[in-house]
């Protein structure tokens, strides 16, 4: 696969969204990854059912944190021959925002340069302006490919709506399906195929997928996610794949919204 890999900063974000809108005309696959400052709030799981506990922890953390990077990889014409990866880099104010130190240390080891982000990174309000006026949202022609993506989508929905995430998991899923009407969470598929069980890096290593960029950077991880999808989509029968796995988040096997079937 030929790959174009672009870092996006405040000085080129406007032009990049013009390119994204053009890509959406020919693209049906987009893989997504985000990098965020870890988990800073835990919940007492006995307050919730096991199905809802993970959502409420997600909600509490997303509501008080901000994303640091978003990676989007576009597969033009869905033929796995040419892809374009955009890595959006955001300003992160450590003085006025919470973070988990171990997560920041991991991102620093992955060569994420916070000083550069804070000098030429994108303001989230500006990114929201371009995102909400783009062809990316509410587009039934796009198929989003993700890996363990509750937090990824949580940060995007929090940003798009400029509101705290809904109190109920059911309402969150409704928001998710409105803005992203077709998605597949490859981590969820690991329930059904032992070939694809484990972390993103472990699966990539198993199938000898070459990485461009650094692990735990959003652009690189979104590209790895797309490459894993290429393999996994050939491993599972199409009809079974669509019926069981479409619009199902990892840890939410009982929640399925099939808009296309």
**Residues near 5 by Cβ (< 8 Å), separated by ≥ 6?**
84, 85, 87, 212, 213, 219, 223
Lookup: tokens for 122: 């994108």
In this prediction the pTM is 0.90
- Give the pLDDT confidence score for residue 13 in this predicted structure: 98
**Distance (Å) of CA 110 to CA 52, 93, 113, 214, 217:** 32, 19, 9, 6, 7
Q: How far is the CA of 88 from the CAs of 85, 172, 192, in angstroms?
A: 10, 24, 32
Kindly report, residue by residue over 57-115, the tens digit of the pLDDT.
999 999 999 999 999 999 976 777 789 999 999 999 888 888 999 999 999 998 888 99
All domains of the chain in start order, with CATH: 2-245 (3.30.420.10)
pLDDT-derived band at 258 (thresholds 50, 70, 90) equals very low
Q: Which residues contact 111 (CB under 8 A, 6 or more apart)?
A: 214, 217
Q: Hey, what's the torsion of the CAs at 151, 111, 117, 223, to 10 degrees?
A: -50
**pLDDT in the model for residue 48:** 54
Q: Which of 21-35, 76-90, 190-204, 215-229 has the lowest mean pLDDT?
A: 190-204
- State pLDDT tens for residues 2-16: 889 999 999 999 999
CB 36 within 8 A of CB 148: no
Radius of gyration (Cα) for the chain, nearest Å?
Answer: 17
* Per-state percent for the chain, helix, strand, coil, to nearest 5: 45, 15, 40
Q: b/e string for 32-59 if b means 16 or more Cβ within 10 A?
A: bbbbbbbeeeebeeeeeeeebbbbbbbb
What are the structure tokens assigned to 63, written together? 């509501």
């Amino acid at each position: 696969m030929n790959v174009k890999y672009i870092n996006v900063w405040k000085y080129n974000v406007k032009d990049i969204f013009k390119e994204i809108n053009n890509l959406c005309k020919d693209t049906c696959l987009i893989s997504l990854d985000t990098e965020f400052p870890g988990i800073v709030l835990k919940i007492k799981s006995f307050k919730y059912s096991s199905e809802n506990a993970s959502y409420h922890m997600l909600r509490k953390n997303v509501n008080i944190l901000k994303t640091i990077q978003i990676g989007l990889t576009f597969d033009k014409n869905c033929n796995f021959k040419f892809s374009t990866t955009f890595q959006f880099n955001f300003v992160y104010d450590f003085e006025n925002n919470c973070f988990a130190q171990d997560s920041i240390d991991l991102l620093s080891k992955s060569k994420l340069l916070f000083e550069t982000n804070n000098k030429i990174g994108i303001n989230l309000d500006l990114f929201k302006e371009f995102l909400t006026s783009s062809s990316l949202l509410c587009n039934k022609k796009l198929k989003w490919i993700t890996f363990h993506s509750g937090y990824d989508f949580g940060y995007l929905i929090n940003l798009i709506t400029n509101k705290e995430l809904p109190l109920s998991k059911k309402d969150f899923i409704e928001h998710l399906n409105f803005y992203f009407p077709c998605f597949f969470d490859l981590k969820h598929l690991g329930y059904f195929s032992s070939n694809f069980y484990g972390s993103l890096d472990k699966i990539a290593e198993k199938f000898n997928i070459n990485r461009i960029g650094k692990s735990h950077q959003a652009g690189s991880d979104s590209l790895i996610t797309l490459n894993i999808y290429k393999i996994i989509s050939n491993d599972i029968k199409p009809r079974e794949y669509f019926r069981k796995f479409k619009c199902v988040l990892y840890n939410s096997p009982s929640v399925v919204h099939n808009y296309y079937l």
